Structures are given as structure tokens and as C-alpha cells.
Amino acid sequence: MRSRNLPILSALLLTLSCNARSIAKPGHSTQDSPEKDARAADSPDSGLDADAGLVDDGFVRLQELTDENPDPHIVEVSLEAQLASLALVDDTAHTHRTYNGTIPGPLIRANKGDQLIVKLKNSLADPTTIHWHGMRVPNGMDGVPGVTQEVVAPGGSFRYEYPLLDASAFWYHPHFQTLEQVGDGLYGAVLVSDPDEPPDLGRETVMAISDISLFEDGTPQHHPDTDETTVFGREGATLLVNGQTAQRMQVTSGERLRFRVLNMARSRYLALQLTGHSFLRIGGDGGLNEFPVEEAITQLTPGERADLIVEPHGEPGTHVNLVTLPVERGAGATTAIGPEVLIRLEFKDEPKLKPRKLPALSRDIPLADTKDALEIQMELTVGTEDEHVVMGINGVPFEEASPLHAIVGEPQIWRVVNETGYSHPFHLHGFHFQVLDESGTAESPLRYKDTIDIPPQETRLLVPIFEARPGKWMFHCHILDHAEAGMMGVLELSETDEGNGWEVPPGGTTPAENLAVLSVDDFAALVATQAYREPPWVAETATARPRTSPVSPHGDVRVFANDTLLKSLAKGNAVTRGDDGLLEASLDSQHDTGSMAVKEFYEGDQVVGHAVYRKLAGPAAAAAYYCEGPQSRCGISSSPPAYGEGFGIDCGFCHGGVVFTVNFPEVTGN
């Protein structure tokens, strides 16, 4: 096994787990005006904390779950997915999918470092799961059916248990039938507090914002009825704050408030504004930012969170509105929509409070390592198939995509390009990423993100931080209509390069163990003669890694080389042309991305193939691929072709091509 070079990551993990153990649990000290919330289900077995919540400011807070575990460092709660009859839009009750009978589901409160145990019971007629959005959980706890766990069948249950590594506002929702389940009412918030953060950040309020649409007969609108709805995403006609319309909150002028805002809507973008004021945005998805910034408008895509401080000022008896402004996210998003009021802040008949100094807030966020990073291009795409809208990544809808590979600690840059005419909120499961602009400059302040807007025709560079939690992890657009239409992919994170991308058949060996050893020259010859089309290549690699592509019967090949060989690969000197006249190496079209090199092969003017060398990890590993086709679609091409044009290497997203690997000998010395 090769050693990994992860100084920043392991340091970070160490700090987190050290903090973790010295933490007291929060008291359940705040909350609730039960008279207004007719939905409060505080029967003894509802799991809801009947005493939680006392702030009498008129604002309806989320129900909270009772911690069933006496250990101060364990939070153990029960969630039941169940149908409930609720009147969300007007006075008429309708049946919705809920957690514990409320929409949103109850708030789970814990401290950073606690162990969270959630016992899910599925009392729905359909299977379900829970995904913990934004949390760095072990792979088996990520809640993706068929990928990280089996579905929880009707009547079944599942125990989620993991340590809370980060302090922030997170949320939970199913990852099964998301349009119906999340789009209806299965979503809830988790607030993980940091007991070590400075006091005096303001009176804290969790605001779970979502929306809902009912058909005329009152049934919830789930499925997009037209392709237009798919493209636009279903925005519910009614905005909900903690499941309520027309929320209000009594405040004292000058009072410091802290809003923990979560966008749980299926498609709607939020642009928060408190008329006449600005927010101090201190954090978001992955906790506090490097430093706070003032924002007149705070935009949140579906899935994103914001940690805001604001001190509203006004005369007693007057009010100021927290509104969401229309967001131009393409596809006619702002047509006939004006600002909508989320909460009316009403000034109490009390003297203004004097301004107080805000505690210094800064967080040391190390810049993710991008040296020698493998750059992966991900184009968010839309097309049609059988006259229906199909979305995808690099032109490939989720069902047909093969996984993208990475190794724990491997630096990668994901260049996410939005070629469509509308915005997509890009979400990665299980890991934080940092964001760079198109030129590669890190954003300021630095933050840990898990969901980010990619506006139309724009590009963002994301640097995921691959800690040692191997497994399959989803990434997708968090407009759930888009995800469902195919804009979703899987990252397969391996512990070591030995296992990278390879599924070892039961009783089998890894390809590295049983592939033939070829010299660089033999590799070139193999490419030239197409001998790789014959056994043993085909049979062996096909069992090693079954592929989904219909035109890629060939398997993968691996290369092991030392620095010297890698250097020569990068210089384009490793593979020379075969002498059958078919393949010709051209040094001009060599792309060298540091850890990756591509060569193009010509037949006349026509590019007929690519050889791609990819450094897998460690000082001496590399992979070689050869693909037949005019363009590489592996993310390193500077101008990827439109979907349908030719083949690519099958390194993640590509369809087809011929992919094989060669086990080069270890080259020693210079």
C-alpha cells in the first residue's frame, strides 16, 4: 500500500475529533408558541419535546425532538415517516408525507462532537431513506438507496448513527422518490452548535424555508406535469417558514438576532433582504466562514444554508419585512414574481437597545491543496430523448453514467461548467469543497461548502476535500426535478490506488495482480495493432470491472511507473506511433495537466483516438487508457464535444471508447 500525503486533512480531522470530546450538551432552552401551532403533536409517543421553546415573540418555531439518551454526549431521537393531515396553505387539511406529523420534520439539536443516533421508522406505504445533507457522515450512513444502503421498506426501520464533526445547520431528507417525498413534506433541520463559539451572537432562530403547491383538488403537486416544469423545477405557490405562512416576530429595536436559514425548497432560490438593513453573514453550509461579511442580499439555492446576524432598527409599533426577492435563474424564473414576505418583524413598545460590540469571529480555514490536482470537467447538460427533456453531466444521464473515481486525499479540481440557460445548485454528498473562480483564485472569505450555485453559462472550480471515508458518494443538482431528470453522478472514492475503480470479483484478484506487464513500447505496439481487442485483455478486465457502456467491451489497464516514466509520459514521449499507418502520435495536441497527459492519434486530419495517462496517486503510479474516438470526454479536454459526438475514455462519464490498461513495469532509476 502506498503512503498518502495528507497533512492538511489529517490535521483538520485531528482538531475536529479533539474538540469533539470536551463538549457539554446544550440545554433545550428556547422555543415555541404552542397556541399558534395547532399542529403540535405533543402526545407522549410523538417524540417531540413538549417543554421545548418559550420565546413568546409570536414566531412559530420548529418542534424539537426529545433526546432519549442519558449520556450527555449522545443525542438519540426517533423519527417516523408517516402520513399526516395538515392545513398548510389555508384552513383545509390535506394528507402529506411527514416526519412525526409535522412539516418540516422536527428539529434535531446537538453539539459538535456528540454522537447522533436517529431511529427511523417507515410508516409510509412507500420505501424511504434519510440523507443527512451537508454532514460528513460515514458512507453507510449517507442514505442513498442502492448505493449506500438498502431502502427502508414500508413498516421497516433503520438506525442512523454517526459522530457530528461540524457545527452548522444541516438538514435531512429522503433520497428516494425525492420529488414526491421531499417535494411533499419529508424534510427537517439539524442544528449542531459549537459550545466553544463566542457568546453574544444574538437571539437564535432556525428558519426552515420551503414551498408547496396543491392541485385544485387539494392533493400536493409532486411530479412535473410538463417538460417546462422539469426545466424550471417545481416552485410551490405558497412559501413556508417553519411550515407556516405569514410568519411574524416581535423584536426590540437594536436587538441582536441570529438567523439560521435553510433553503429546503425543491427548486426555489431565495434572495433574503431585510428592508433598510444588511446582514452580517458569518457562516453557511460547513459552519463559520473565514471571516464575516456584510451582505445586503443573501442568496440561497435549494440545499444551501446561511448563518446571519442582524440588528433591526425601527420605531415602536412599526415593522420591517424579511423578504425574498425574485432570483433570475433562467427559464423565466422572475416572470410575474415580486418580492415575497417571509417574516414581518414588529418592533415592540420598548426602548431601543444600545449597540453592543460584536465578538470577533474568525476561523482558520486552510486552503485546499491543488498542487498537481487532477482536473475533471463536468458540464451540466440538457438534451432530449424520445422528445423528453433529459438532463445529465457531460451529456450522460445518471442511469447511464459510470462512476467518477478518486482516491482518499487525492487533490482534484472539478471544473463545473453550466452550458444551459438556467442555474443549477451543485451538491456533493459527504465532503466539503472549496470554491475557486475560473482563473483558479480561491474565494474570499474561504468557506466550506456542500452546495453551490452555478449560474447559466458560468463555470466554478470546486476543490473537494476527500477524507478517508471511501465509498460511493452522490453529486447532483439540488433542483430535485433536475436531479430526477438525470443531472446526477456518483463519485467512487477508494482508499488506495490499488483499489481505484476496480471491483474485485468474489474470489478474484485485483487487476494489478494479474495483468500482464508491458513495457512502454509494448503499450504503443498494442495500441497500434489493436491486439488489445483479443484475449486475455477482454475477458479478464471485463470481469474485473463490469461496465455499463454498450460499446465498451474491453476492460481497463493499469500502469505503474515511477517519476521518470511519468515525466516522460507528460512530455508525450512515452507512446510513439504504430507503424501500421493507422495511428500517429502528435506532440502538438499534447495536453499536459501535470498529473495527466493526453495524446491524440491521427488518421490523416482525423483524430481517431486518444491515449490518456493518468497519475492515480502516489509518486509512482499512473494509468493509461486508450480510446477510439475524436475527443476525450474525461474532463481534460479544453473543448469537449457535444453529446453524441464520438467516444471517450471510460474514466467516469464517458460512453464507450475502448478502454484498457497496461501494467507497465516499474521503471527504476533514471
Residue 133 interacts with ligand C2O (CB under 6 A): yes or no: yes
Grid cell at residue 51: 417543554
Residues 6 or more apart in contact with residue 357 via CB below 8 angstroms: none
Residue 615 interacts with ligand C2O (CB under 6 A): yes or no: no
Residue 60 gets which letter from DSSP? -
Decide whether 240 or 474 has the Cβ nearer to ligand C2O: 474
Q: How many other CB atoms sit within 10 Å of the CB of residue 581?
A: 9
**Total residues in contact with ligand C2O, by rule CB under 6 A:** 10
Decide whether 449 or 545 has the Cβ nearer to ligand C2O: 449
What distances in angstroms separate CA 576 from CA 524, 664, 670, one per listed residue?
Answer: 6, 15, 20
Decide whether 378 or 465 has the Cβ nearer to Cu ion: 378
CB 289 → ligand C2O: shortest distance, Å? Answer: 21
Helix (H) or strand (E) holding 82, with range, is strand 74-86
CB 594 → ligand C2O: shortest distance, Å? Answer: 31
Decide whether 178 or 576 has the Cβ nearer to Cu ion: 178
Decide whether 322 or 479 has the Cβ nearer to Cu ion: 479
Per-residue contact track with Cu ion, 369 to 408, x per CB under 5 A? ----------------------------------------
Please check whether residue 157 is in contact with residue 130, taking contact to mean a CB–CB distance below 8 angstroms: no
Interacting residue with Cu ion among 424, 429, 469, 633 (CB under 5 A)? 424
Residue 131 interacts with ligand C2O (CB under 6 A): yes or no: yes
Sign of CA dihedral 329, 333, 337, 341: negative
479 binds, among Cu ion, ligand C2O, none (CB under 5 to 8 A by kind): Cu ion
**Total residues in contact with Cu ion, by rule CB under 5 A:** 4
CB 452 → ligand C2O: shortest distance, Å? Answer: 13
Enumerate residues 24-63 that contact ligand C2O by CB under 6 A: none
Residue 432 interacts with ligand C2O (CB under 6 A): yes or no: no
Decide whether 182 or 654 has the Cβ nearer to ligand C2O: 182
Residue 449 interacts with Cu ion (CB under 5 A): yes or no: no
Residue 482 interacts with Cu ion (CB under 5 A): yes or no: yes
447 binds, among Cu ion, ligand C2O, none (CB under 5 to 8 A by kind): none
Enumerate residues 224-283 that contact ligand C2O by CB under 6 A: none
Grid cell at residue 355: 449597540
CB 389 → Cu ion: shortest distance, Å? Answer: 11
Residues 6 or more apart in contact with residue 35 via CB below 8 angstroms: none
CB 422 → Cu ion: shortest distance, Å? Answer: 7
Per-residue contact track with ligand C2O, 384 to 423, x per CB under 6 A? ----------------------------------------
CB 394 → ligand C2O: shortest distance, Å? Answer: 19
Decide whether 479 or 623 has the Cβ nearer to Cu ion: 479
Q: How many other CB atoms sit within 10 Å of the CB of residue 169?
A: 25
Decide whether 286 or 303 has the Cβ nearer to ligand C2O: 303
Interacting residue with ligand C2O among 266, 268, 427, 599 (CB under 6 A)? 427
Decide whether 476 or 633 has the Cβ nearer to Cu ion: 476
110 binds, among ligand C2O, Cu ion, none (CB under 5 to 8 A by kind): none
Interacting residue with Cu ion among 191, 343, 428, 479 (CB under 5 A)? 479
What is the C-alpha separation between 37 and 60, in angstroms, rounded? 7
Label residues 541-569 b or e (16+ Cβ within 10 Å = b). beebbebebeebebbbbbbbbbeebbebb
Per-residue contact track with ligand C2O, 172 to 191, x per CB under 6 A? -x-x----------------
Per-residue contact track with ligand C2O, 459 to 498, x per CB under 6 A? ---------------x-x-x--------------------
Q: Pairing relation of β-strands 105-111 and 188-193?
A: parallel
Per-residue contact track with ligand C2O, 288 to 317, x per CB under 6 A? ---------------x--------------
Cis peptide, bond prior to residue 445, ω within 30 of zero: yes
Decide whether 466 or 625 has the Cβ nearer to ligand C2O: 466
Residue closest to ligand C2O, measured at CB: 133
Q: Is 383 exposed, middle or buried (0-12, 13-18, 19+ CB in 10 A)?
A: middle
The alpha carbon of 468 is separated from its chain's Cα centroid by a whole number of angstroms, namely: 17
Decide whether 240 or 477 has the Cβ nearer to Cu ion: 477
What is the C-alpha separation between 150 and 606, in angstroms, rounded? 47
Decide whether 136 or 482 has the Cβ nearer to Cu ion: 482
Q: Which long-range contacts does 539-542 make (Cβ < 8 Å, 24+ apart)?
A: 540/511, 540/514, 540/515, 541/511, 541/515, 541/660, 541/661
Label residues 203-236 b or e (16+ Cβ within 10 Å = b). eebbbbbbbbebeeeeebbbebeeeebbbbbbbb
Residue 636 interacts with Cu ion (CB under 5 A): yes or no: no
Residues 6 or more apart in contact with residue 588 via CB below 8 angstroms: none
What is the C-alpha separation between 374 and 169, in angstroms, rounded? 31
What is the C-alpha separation between 655 and 429, in angstroms, rounded? 24
482 binds, among ligand C2O, Cu ion, none (CB under 5 to 8 A by kind): Cu ion
CB 478 → Cu ion: shortest distance, Å? Answer: 7
Q: Give the HSE-up count for residue 617: Cα atoms under 13 Å, Cβ half-sphere.
A: 24
Alpha carbon distance, N-terminus to C-terminus of the chain: 23
Please check whether residue 79 is in contact with residue 105, taking contact to mean a CB–CB distance below 8 angstroms: yes
Binding site for ligand C2O (CB under 6 A): 131, 133, 173, 175, 303, 427, 429, 474, 476, 478
Binding site for Cu ion (CB under 5 A): 424, 477, 479, 482
